């Protein structure tokens, strides 16, 4: 299981990212999390572009943070064009999830946010 304190840190980071959206973008984009037993996936969500596709927002994965319980460490994964995740090897695994979130935010290689 993912530690509750780390999950709260990720949620706080996501809330801050959503609060930094300009007022005109609030209804055009939002960020969400998918959480499972071992990973947290950061999603970029967009409203439907056509009424014919229904009311559901499109959810596109940006990055994944995977937790290894035995090591008590997090690792970043990036998503390729085929929606497959790969280990991000520019930063070591860390027990400090906030350090990894800072790397995703900074995105020095433009692999997460473009």
Element (H, E) at 33: strand 30-35
| pLDDT at residue 51, as a whole number | 76
In a domain, 111, yes or no: no
Q: What is the pLDDT along the chain (114 residues), one digit of tens a residue?
A: 899 999 999 999 999 999 999 999 999 999 999 999 999 999 999 998 877 777 889 999 999 999 999 999 999 999 999 999 999 999 999 999 999 999 999 999 999 998
In a domain, 114, yes or no: no
Parent domain of 60: 4-106
In a domain, 54, yes or no: yes
Residue 98 three-state SS: helix
Per the structure, how many domains does the chain have? Answer: 1
pTM across the whole model = 0.92
| pLDDT at residue 114, as a whole number | 86
| pLDDT at residue 50, as a whole number | 77
In a domain, 38, yes or no: yes
């Amino acid at each position: 299981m993912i530690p509750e304190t780390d999950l709260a840190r990720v949620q706080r980071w996501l809330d801050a990212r959503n609060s930094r959206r300009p007022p005109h973008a609030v209804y055009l984009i939002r960020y969400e999390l998918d959480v499972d037993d071992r990973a947290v996936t950061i999603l970029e969500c967009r409203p439907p572009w056509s009424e014919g596709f229904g009311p559901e927002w499109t959810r596109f994965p940006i990055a994944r943070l995977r937790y290894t319980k035995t090591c008590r460490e997090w690792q970043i994964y990036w998503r390729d064009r085929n929606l497959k995740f790969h280990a991000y090897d520019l930063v070591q695994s860390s027990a400090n999830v906030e350090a990894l979130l800072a790397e995703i935010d900074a995105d020095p290689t433009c692999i997460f946010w473009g």
